[in-house]
Amino acid sequence: MGYYARQAKVGYEFTRAIPTDNIKYMEYQNFLKQFGEDGGIMVIGLQRKDFFEPAFFQRYTALANRIKAVKGVNSILSIPAAVTIETDSAGKMQVMPVWRPGNEGPAAVSNFLNLPFYKGFLYNPDSNSYLMAVGISKEVLNSKERLTVIPQIQALANTFGKEEEVTMRYSGLPLIRTVMATKVQQEMKLFIVLSFLLTALILFLFFRSLVAVLVSMLVVGIGVVFSLGTVVLAGYQLSLLTGLIPPLIVVIGIPNCVYFINKYHSEFAASGAKEPALLEMVNRMGIVTLFTNLTAAIGFGVFFFTRSVLLKEFGLVAGLNLMAIFVISLFLIPALLSLLPPPGKRHTRYLQSGWMQRLLDRLGRWALHHRSWIYGASLLATLIGVLGLLRLHMETRIVDDLPQSDHVYRDLKFFETNFGGVMPLEMVIDTRKKYGATLPRTLQKTDSLVQWMHTIPGIGRVLAVTEPIKFAAQAAAGGDSAAYQLPDETGLKLAGPILRGRTQFGDTGKATVFNKLLLSFMDSTRSIERISVSMADVGSRRLPGLLDSIRQKTAEIFPAADYKATLTGTSVVFLEGNYFIIHSLRDSLILAFLMIFGCMVLLFRSWRMVLISFVVNAVPLALTAGLMGWMGVPLKPSTVLVFSVALGITVDVTIRFLVTYRQDRDLFPGDVNAAVQHTLRETGQSILYTSLILAGGFGVFCLSSFGGTKSLGFLTSFTLLVAMVTNLTLQPALLVWLEKKRK
């Protein structure tokens, strides 16, 4: 497994949240086949008043050329490479560079600023902002080469920025995805190290034994290796979700070690014999640990039954390795302890901890004599949770997991403020006729839709086949910027041959630039056209309404009887994936509830026990949901994941307590109070320490730079601490009440 674990790699495919048979996924794949990648543009921006100052502009041109020479960059669109259309003496139109020998300096600047095509696209005159668009090949974006190509581009631009004393801004999906993938890899390593150190420290404080710490670390270390090996053997790659599994194995595997070693120490302290103590440890803790790991595995494993590829991978790897850590613990811990010297008195001294015994005795007295207060506090906490639950809302953004202080987030806002945004939204109009996209009435409808979309807040530049035509119309009018508009029907008919790709104007090879630009918005049959939109990261609350309004307007302009209009692109796939994951997590949580409590029915064969476990675990989950509502934490994939993770773990504590109680009940026949108090003394110490270990282990995730991972850590830790309290107070109180009712 170590051999395979070394081969684990970070994945760069970001459309796996929805199943491959989903209509939105299929529409997106069809778009990619027809028109290529929609999220392959990285943008570089800056602000400068004297941008066209000759010396600065010359160095900016050199920067664009250096970036274009980077391996993996297949295109670059910048102001120095801007082209214009001019009419020669023979009346032919030809594509010419704006900046060329004989047309430089103020004349070239004036010519460029007179071209409306570039305004709001490559520059914003109101804020003196300028943009360079860098196209990166799909092969690079879907491989580890992106980790060298994008930093190389940034390094070139940063060097330029330092020399010119300007702040360089970077955005676009290639950059955002690369940053997030790199952070996943870095944080996985960080969390593994921190979780190891934190749990080792707590274990040492608990057992005061270096041997116990080393045995525990060896067990979870093997579990981590198995988890990474499983990822590779299953043919998966590390994602934002599967990258969390190794530190989760550390955090969840440690309680196994605590319960096993704690039981061994208590039995050895009572008998003084190592072998009987080990046998009793396995006898008492084996079945308990089996069911606790099984319920945790169910909490994670149910994700495998969703149709989301990302969740399937996470569920399978996490579920299998939680059962693997049980097998490793069951065989390795007794084997290692049998070879090691028996524990000394200082190693078992914690069992007679005075303050711990006083705390547990006090909890026992509360459970026996102050049950009404416990019920009242639990009911109040649940009510507060339910009221907060009503305030929950669902919202996420493409860069939602990055903090607002992160440079990627700040740079994205720069482009949204000055250029309307960089998130791709694509529209495909199928005219159902060969050359239908070149018909005058189709072009007029397209222009009408484009002009309407420019009025929507959050929508940046909209590009369609009509924009190059307006460019040509301006050239035909002698360069008058007022002529940058769609020609009348007669003018459009004259442009028909060009639109069909049958002729090229101009005699130089550069003339093909215009045709390439023009034809990039149509398929080979000219029956399907593409409208490309750059938009802001408006979030999942506003995006559905925005898309619905675009669909309604499109249906008005392009009636369904004659045209087929499809909205697609990364923004649509993101929204669909977000909804799909949240709904899948909701269904998985329900399934996990049913499966976990089904296991408890098989284990206890008592509806009273199942009822107690349900109530004891419902209170912390309700309070966590309420906390999210009161704090304004939105529902999104990472925060919904909290409930399944927390349920699978908190039920472990409940099972350990109830199994021990059933075993202790035989020692005190007819005396419920004595059985409950003995169970508290026997399991309370382990529950306290394992809950603290788990809460601390998940608390490590609060150091993440991803907002979702940070919320997962904080909310799960909170849930585990509340569950610790309910398991040590509400659970004994309910046991006493139900047992007395039964009698």
Q: Is the pLDDT of residue 575 over 90?
A: no
More confident residue, 290 or 37: 290
| Residue 439, C-beta contacts closer than 8 angstroms, at least 6 positions apart | 431, 433
Q: How confident is the model at residue 190 (pLDDT cuts 50, 70, 90)?
A: confident
Contact 526, 436 (CB under 8 A): yes
pLDDT 10s digits, 226-282: 999 999 999 888 876 787 788 778 877 888 888 888 888 888 888 888 999 999 999
**What pLDDT does residue 499 have?**
60
Q: How confident is the model at residue 156 (pLDDT cuts 50, 70, 90)?
A: very high
Residue 627: name the closest of 690, 721, 731, 704 by CA.
721
Whether pLDDT at 663 is above 60: yes
What mean pLDDT comes out for the span 374-397? Answer: 84
Q: Does residue 685 carry a pLDDT above 80?
A: no
Alpha-carbon gap, residue 201 to 306, rounded angstroms? 38
DSSP-based three-state secondary structure for 418? helix
22, HSE (Cβ side, Cα atoms, 13 Å): 23
Q: What is the pLDDT of residues 673-683, one digit of tens each?
A: 788 888 887 77
What does the alpha-carbon distance between residue 690 and residue 256 come to, in Å, rounded to a whole number? 9
CATH topology (fold) of 177-390+574-742: Multidrug efflux transporter AcrB transmembrane fold (1.20.1640)
Distance, CA of 276 to CA of 662 (rounded, Å): 22
Q: How far is it, in rounded angstroms, from Cα 460 to Cα 445?
A: 20
For residue 742, the model assigns a pLDDT of 66
Q: CB-side exposure of 376: number of CA atoms within 13 Å? A: 5
pLDDT band of residue 470 (cuts 50, 70, 90) is: confident
- Assigned token pair, 157: 């631009």
**Residue of 698 and 379 predicted with greater confidence:** 379
**pTM for this entry:** 0.72
The pLDDT value recorded for residue 488 is 78
Average pLDDT over residues 6-25: 72
Mean pLDDT of 645-669: 78
Say whether pLDDT at 523 is over 70.
Answer: yes
Reported as a pLDDT band with limits 50, 70 and 90, residue 636 is: confident
424 pLDDT above the threshold of 80: yes
Question: Residues 596-623: what's their mean pLDDT?
Answer: 80
pLDDT of residue 312: 84
The string of pLDDT tens digits covering residues 194-227 is 877 887 887 787 777 888 888 988 998 999 999 9
CA atoms within 13 A on the CB side of 129: 21
Q: Residue range 37-65: average pLDDT?
A: 89
The model's pLDDT over 328-371, given as tens digits with 9 standing for 90+, comes to 999 999 999 999 888 877 777 766 666 677 777 777 777 777 88
Q: What is the mean pLDDT of the chain?
A: 82
Q: What pLDDT, in 10s, does the model give residues 474-496? A: 877 777 888 888 887 766 665 55
Most confident of 317-326, 420-429, 508-517, 690-699: 317-326
Q: What is the DSSP letter of 343?
A: P
| Confidence (pLDDT) at 676 | 81
Most confident by average pLDDT, 194-203, 535-544, 559-568:
559-568
Report the pLDDT value the prediction gives residue 88, as an integer from 0 to 100.
Answer: 67
> Count of residues for the chain?
743
State pLDDT tens for residues 111-139: 889 888 888 889 999 999 999 999 888 78
Is the confidence at residue 181, as pLDDT, over 80?
no
CB 637, CB 585: distance < 8 Å: yes
Per-range mean pLDDT, top range of 93-107, 162-176, 502-516? 162-176
**Backbone phi, psi, residue 503, to 5°:** -135, 160
* pLDDT of the residue at 143: 74
Percent of the chain topping pLDDT 70: 90
Q: Contact at 8 Å (CB) between 108 and 99? A: yes
- At residue 668 the predicted structure's pLDDT band, cuts being 50, 70 and 90, is confident
Letter string b/e over residues 87-126, b meaning 16 or more CB atoms within 10 A of that residue's CB: beeeeebbbbebbeeeeeeeebbebbebbbbbbbbbbbee
653-671 mean pLDDT: 79
| Residue 177 in this model has a pLDDT that exceeds 50 | yes
Query: Side-chain half-sphere of 489: how many Cα atoms within 13 Å?
Result: 5
Which of 309, 302, 326 minimizes the C-alpha distance to 226? 326
Report pLDDT for 67: 93
pLDDT the model gives residue 506: 46
17-48 residue pLDDT tens: 677 777 888 888 888 888 876 667 899 999 99
Tens of pLDDT along 67-92?
999 988 888 889 998 888 777 666 66
Residue 585 CB neighbours (<10 A):
26
Taking the C-alpha atoms of residue 340 and residue 213, their distance in angstroms, rounded to an integer, is 13
User: Would you state the pLDDT for residue 511?
Assistant: 42
**Domain locations in the chain?**
177-390+574-742
Within 13 A of 95's CA, how many CA atoms are on the CB side?
19
Instruction: List, in order, residues 6 or more apart from 231 with CB less than 8 Å away.
Output: 8, 237, 238, 242, 245, 313, 317
